[in-house]
């Protein structure tokens, strides 16, 4: 391709000369790679190296092993639990919503409306989202009050607390569900109506259609999107921080406190904490990319 253009783009007078022998084409992408190096690759690489060093700069695995201390390990576990629960919940509800809007026999205006609202809701995150849920399910929130006044049921007496695992998961799902709708819509579009009709003609029940046709095709995008949602929630800081302050010990909050004031009393342990996070989000993203590759075979 590049060869062809070099032949046809004949330098006319005054036009930028296109060098034909030694290609200088790479110069055009130098700014981009310089930027990526400065603001993506080097900062991350430095943290990774820092996580593998002791205070004197010698290579060590102590920091990595220290991540398995009970307090740090529990913060990773809470993060993983919240991220997994909100990803699975968001993926299930998002899947039903997207399927209902696309193949559920609803009027044509439902789908674009759902997509627009998903675009908005998936971007409504961070600090304001925490405020919204405090006003809804906090101790004096509207839904909490309504449940007490109408049904005489106090969710806080029943053990619910917004500033906990359940509350944070419910809050995260507010952006996870619409994100799932946005990512999964193309995959559901790929489920051809003919497959369902052919299955019905051959006498398959709805269950058999899902078991033998739809799910075998849909599982890679379903699982892949769930992994993406997981990584999305795992790196979140602002919502949790505004909602719970530092009362819920998730790993991003620990890292935030560490950056603010070295609460772990060991800078290198802080770098290792970041290294662990990169590993977890990296693995789930890699699995997502692999699964997306698999799903593209069918869903063209």
Partner 1 sequence: MRGSRLGSWLAMLLGVLYFFIPLLATFEFSLRYFRGVYSVEAYRIVLADPQFGATVTYSIVLALATIVMGIALVVPTAYWIQLRLPGLRPVVEFITLLPLVIPAIVLVFGYLRIYNSSSILPLTGTERTTDVLLMASYVTLALPYVYRSVDTALRAIDVRTLTQAAQSLGAGWSTILFRVILPNVRVGVLSGAFLTFAIVIGEFTMASLLDRPAFGPYLQLIGANRAYEPSALAIISFALTWACMGLIQVFGRGAAGQAAGAR
* Subset of 68-107 contacting partner 1 (CB under 8 A): 93, 96-97, 99-101, 104-106
DSSP-derived secondary structure for 61-124: SHHHHHTTSHHHHHHHHHHHHHHHHHHHHHHHHHHHHHHHHHHS---TTHHHHHHHHHHHHHH-
Task: Pick the stretch among 149-157, 160-168, 207-215, 266-274 that binds partner 1 (CB under 8 A).
Answer: 266-274
Task: Tell the residue number behind the tokens 């095709």, with chain if given.
Answer: 217
* Binder among 80, 110, 147, 163 for partner 1 (CB under 8 A): 110
Contacts with 217 (C-beta within 8 Å, 6 or more apart), sequence order: 190, 191, 295, 298, 299
When the beta carbons of 36 and 77 are compared against partner 1, the nearer one is 36
Interface with partner 1 in residues 190-229 (CB under 8 A): none
- Least distance from partner 1 to the Cβ atom of residue 162, Å: 12
Task: Pick the stretch among 70-78, 150-158, 213-221, 270-278 that binds partner 1 (CB under 8 A).
Answer: 270-278
Residue 18 and residue 6: Cα distance in Å, rounded? 7
| 184 near partner 1, judged by CB under 8 A | no
- HEC states along 213-245? HHHHHHHHHHHHHHHHHHHHHHCCCHHHHHHHC
Task: Pick the stretch among 62-70, 149-157, 171-179, 215-223 that binds partner 1 (CB under 8 A).
Answer: 171-179
Residue 125, SS3 per DSSP? coil
* Binder among 237, 263, 287, 298 for partner 1 (CB under 8 A): 237
CB atoms within 10 A of CB 299: 18
When the beta carbons of 277 and 299 are compared against partner 1, the nearer one is 277
| 238 near partner 1, judged by CB under 8 A | yes
Pattern 134-153, partner 1, x by CB under 8 A: xxx----xxx----------
């Amino acid at each position: 391709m590049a060869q062809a253009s070099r032949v046809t783009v004949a330098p006319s007078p005054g036009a930028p000369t296109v060098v034909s022998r030694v290609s200088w084409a790479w110069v055009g992408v130098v700014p981009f790679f310089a930027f990526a190096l400065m603001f993506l690759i080097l900062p991350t690489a430095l943290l990774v190296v820092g996580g593998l060093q002791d205070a004197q700069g010698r290579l060590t695995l102590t920091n990595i092993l220290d991540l398995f201390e009970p307090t740090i390990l529990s913060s990773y576990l809470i993060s993983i639990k919240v991220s997994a629960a909100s990803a699975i919940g968001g993926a299930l509800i998002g899947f039903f919503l997207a399927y209902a809007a696309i193949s559920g026999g609803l009027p044509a205006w439902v789908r674009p409306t759902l997509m627009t609202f998903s675009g908005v809701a998936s971007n409504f995150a961070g600090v304001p989202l925490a405020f919204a849920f405090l006003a809804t399910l906090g101790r004096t929130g509207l839904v909490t009050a309504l449940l007490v006044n109408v049904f005489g049921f106090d969710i806080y007496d029943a053990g619910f607390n917004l500033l906990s695992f359940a509350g944070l998961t419910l809050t995260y799902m507010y952006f996870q569900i619409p994100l799932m709708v946005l990512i999964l819509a193309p995959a559901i579009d790929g489920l051809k109506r003919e497959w369902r009709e052919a299955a019905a003609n051959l006498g398959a029940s709805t269950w058999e259609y899902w078991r033998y046709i739809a799910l075998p095709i849909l599982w890679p995008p379903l699982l892949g999107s769930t992994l993406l949602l997981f990584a999305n929630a795992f790196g979140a800081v602002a919502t949790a921080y505004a909602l719970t302050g530092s009362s819920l010990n998730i790993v991003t909050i620990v890292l935030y406190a560490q950056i603010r004031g070295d609460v772990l009393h060991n800078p290198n342990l802080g770098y290792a904490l970041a290294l662990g996070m990169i590993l977890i989000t990296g693995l789930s993203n890699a699995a997502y990319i692999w699964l997306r590759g698999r799903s593209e075979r069918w869903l063209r």
